[in-house]
Amino acid sequence: MKQPEPADGNTAGLLAGITSILADFEVADGSPALGDPSRDGRSSVKDIFAVSKRKAWDKTTEARCNFTFRPRITPRAGLWFLSLWQKSLMGRTLSEIKSDPAEIPHFAEAVSDFLISYLGTAISAGHWCICTSPKRRHKEHNFATLICRQIGERLQIPFYEDVAICRSRQRINAVFTLNILPAEPNVIVFDDFVTTGSTLRGMHELLLAHGRNTLFVAGINNKL
């Protein structure tokens, strides 16, 4: 077998130069010790038992309503309800609406006029009353309660504030307990926003068991 010829002077010098350049490079250690802090000073070890922090509520994705009058009768959760407005892509967010005291008379006036056009002026003859779904335990008064009080005054019908009590913070499949049975045979159940309809369904089952007719009315239908 032919042996390789020895490198001449030029080749030997070139190899020596490359070797000198490579000697100046530093290669990072690809296998750091377990538990060593990373470059930013934080541990690279993830604690799988750590309690994750709740992300801030992104209000840019919150439901909105532009208050374009769109009366509808909608089936949901096995029953029908009337609504005045519809969830929209633009407009005020629902949290902005509920935190604005000026919206209380706005809702009350619109709902009262709507009910008179739907049921007639005989609504105040003593056969109708109004209530709302149970307010949450951590709130003394909720938005729907304040609206209902003004609707009752405008229509001259009784308003029952605490017809039902809900001891759960969850509204889905919540169990309601009867607290006050309205004397009137026909009960308007009002809610400011309706999404799943489970709250209305709970009120329907509760009042139906005691021989009361129910008419469900929502300010905003919270589904497109």
- Strands (E) across 77-212 are located at 79-86, 92-93, 128-132, 159-160, 164-166, 176-178, 186-194
Within-domain flag for 48? no
- Give the pLDDT of the chain (224 residues) as one tens digit per residue: 555 555 555 666 666 666 666 555 555 555 555 555 455 555 556 565 555 555 554 555 799 999 999 999 999 989 999 999 999 999 999 999 999 999 999 999 999 999 999 999 889 889 999 999 887 554 545 899 999 999 999 999 999 999 999 877 666 667 789 999 999 999 999 999 999 999 999 999 999 999 999 999 999 999 87
Within-domain flag for 115? yes
Within-domain flag for 17? no
The CATH code of the domain that includes 184 is 3.40.50
Nearest-10 Cα torsion for 94, 216, 123, 108: 0
Token pair recorded at residue 208: 């139906």
- Work out the burial of residue 154: count CB atoms within 10 Å of its CB; fewer than 13 is exposed, 13-18 middle, 19 or more buried: middle
Within-domain flag for 12? no
Count of structural domains, the chain: 1
Within-domain flag for 21? no
Within-domain flag for 32? no
Domain of 104?
67-221
Within-domain flag for 148? yes
Q: By the 8 A CB rule, do 18 and 10 touch?
A: no
Within-domain flag for 27? no
| pLDDT tens-place string over residues 105-135 | 999 999 999 999 999 988 988 999 999 988 7
Q: By the 8 A CB rule, do 113 and 121 touch?
A: no
| pLDDT tens-place string over residues 35-63 | 554 555 555 565 655 555 555 545 557 99
Q: How far apart are CA 207 and CA 186, in angstroms?
A: 10
